[in-house]
Amino acid sequence: MTSPVSPQPASAAAADAVVEVRDVSYAVGGRPIFKGLDLRVRRGRITAIMGPSGTGKTTLLRLITAQIDADSGQVVVFGRDLATLGRTEIYALRRRMGMLFQNGALLTDMDVFENVAFPVREHTDLPETLIRLLVLTKLQAVGLRGAAGLMPSELSGGMARRVALARAIVMDPEVLIYDEPFVGLDPISLGVIVRLIKHTNDALGITSIVVSHDVHELSTVADDSYLLAEGHILAAGTPAQLRASDSPAVRQFMSGSEEGPVPFQYPAPDYATELFGTNE
Amino acid sequence: MSSGGGDGYLLEGVRRLGSVTIFLGRLLMQCVPALGRPALLLNQIYNAGARSLIIIMLSGLFVGMVLGLQGYDLLQRFGSEEALGTAAALGLLRELAPVITALLFAGRAGTALTSEIGLMRATDQLTAMEIMAVDPLRYVAAPRFLGGVIAMPLLTAIFSVVGLYGAQLVGVQLMGVDKGVFWSQTQGSVDMHDVNEGIVKSVVFGIACSLIAVYEGYNATPTAEGVGLATTRTVVASSVMTLLLDYVLTAEFL
């Protein structure tokens, strides 16, 4: 299948790629999720990975964070092929990454302060006064310094995600990965998260990967975007390029239409036959 | 790839056994660094041990009291009710205390461990640790496993003591067995071999029950149903394994 838009962002250069996915195939239980997937995340930019639900966006993040191995092809992060790395090296690589989970994934037996302090305590021997400064600074950045003493069960969805963001940036990662950061947020929380993604990327000079199907929100923050469908990259470019695409599949996704090449209905037997036992 | 019927079950059983063994190996490797985190470990000993104290003490008391009643009734038929202390002490130390403590542990602490770890899995907390380069086996599983292994012999000892007091309560206070005879018979006939049997059993049951609870939680399907099933499996597997191991250990000690 040919890509309706350029398969890579036009000015992409291999030299500044932080994450490179090269011809990756991956299947679960015989069902292919990716078939020859190629994409590149460039240093210092916000890269959006979009696509309908169930196209393997979260699976792609699991490949990039070395939680699963590709069946074939290469996943290269910070210039290292993940398939060649041992457990210790993968853990060393992960220390340079931060990830924001869809539900926050805060540790429920610790309060907000301890959640943000957790990676620092685990990986450094910093004195308590310094940890306190570090944690409060990051909590201030996400606007939740006052919530430091709350337990995760006392937070709203948006607050939990902001705390998780503070935890993800507390070790000053080089790459920050967001898994569906906009799902289920009220308009105010959503606006705050969008601004935080942009601000965090620019202020800390990190590389961001945002996986989502919220086209509108992504368009406002992303520098590069990839549209993922049916196991490969359907289109790549800036959000504006994607919006201007002539491809029916890209247009369908960007406009949120039910009609188009991407089927809304899951494959099923004939409707009339199933309802009435006949197609008359 | 199940070949149906008995073969399928057998294959699944072998696969599971292999999976538990590999898990135990990885867990044991993480137990050494976990021992260096006394705060985490103490917290888990408190969760598995101190929080099970009331149920263990109450059960111990009632089991001891029943032992007192049944023992007295049985022994008086042979005119040897003075041996009640011996019967109660040996029954409790060697058999009832380790086994019933393990069964209660599986129901109270084991299910709590499985559902806690299973929910951590379902809410991505374990994955989040992995991404933060913190091994959840070291931070979550190993302290809980060790906490259970350490708590079980302590709980068994408390069960024995309270049980013996319960037997004495019924035998001496209610049935009129002489107090001095009760305790001197107990002291004279129980030796270190009997105490050791109880200790060894409680340690082995502690390892088995904690391993099953942690394994099931760690490998639970990350859904509400999956965590529920894992919790059920913990109780069933721990109970059956306790009784099976009890037979093997008893045969070994006799």
A102 in contact with B, Cβ within 8 Å: yes
Dihedral of CA atoms B211, B215, B218, B224 in degrees, nearest 10, equals: -110
Closest-CA residue of A relative to B139 is A122
B93 in contact with A, Cβ within 8 Å: no
A115 in contact with B, Cβ within 8 Å: no
Give the C-alpha separation, A47 to B174, whole Å. 80
B130 in contact with A, Cβ within 8 Å: yes
Cβ contact B131–A65 (<8 Å): yes
User: What are the chain B neighbours of A171 within 8 Å (beta carbons)?
Assistant: 132
Give the C-alpha separation, B121 to B51, whole Å. 23
What are the residue ranges in chain A where pLDDT is below 70? 1-15, 258-259, 262-265, 278-280
Instruction: Give the mean pLDDT of chain B.
Output: 92
User: What are the chain A neighbours of B123 within 8 Å (beta carbons)?
Assistant: 103, 105, 108
Give the C-alpha separation, A137 to A159, whole Å. 16
DSSP one-letter code for A104: -
Closest by CA position to A57, among listed A29, A90, A33, A93: A33
Q: Confirm if A92 and B133 have CB atoms less than 8 A apart.
A: yes
- The question of ipTM being above 0.90 is answered as no
Q: Is residue B112 very low, low, confident or very high in pLDDT (cuts 50, 70, 90)?
A: very high
Instruction: Give B 135-174 residues with CB within 8 A of chain A.
Output: 135, 139
Which candidate in B113, B132, B144 is best for mutational testing of the A interface (most A CBs within 10 A)? B132
Region B67-82: what's the mean pLDDT? Answer: 91
Enumerate long-range contacts of A222-226, CB under 8 Å, 24 or more apart. A222/A46, A222/A47, A222/A48, A223/A42, A223/A45, A223/A46, A223/A47, A224/A9, A224/A12, A224/A41, A224/A42, A224/A45, A224/A46, A224/A47, A224/A48, A225/A47, A225/A48, A225/A49, A225/A50, A226/A39, A226/A47, A226/A48, A226/A49, A226/A50
Is residue A88 within a helix (H) or strand (E), and if so which, with residue range? helix A87-94
pTM over 0.90: no
Q: For chain B, what is the largest distance between any 2 Cα atoms, rounded to a whole number of angstroms? A: 70
Region B104-126: what's the mean pLDDT? Answer: 94
Give the C-alpha separation, A71 to B121, whole Å. 25
User: What are the chain B neighbours of A94 within 8 Å (beta carbons)?
Assistant: 130-133
Token pair listed for A41? 């995340």
State the pLDDT at residue A1. 38
State the pLDDT at residue A13. 52
Pick from A92, A97, A102: which is nearest to B131 by CB?
A97
State the pLDDT at residue B2. 43
State the pLDDT at residue A4. 44
A67 in contact with B, Cβ within 8 Å: yes
User: What are the chain A neighbours of B139 within 8 Å (beta carbons)?
Assistant: 122
User: What are the chain A neighbours of B125 within 8 Å (beta carbons)?
Assistant: 105-108
Pick from B124, B131, B139: which is nearest to A94 by CB?
B131
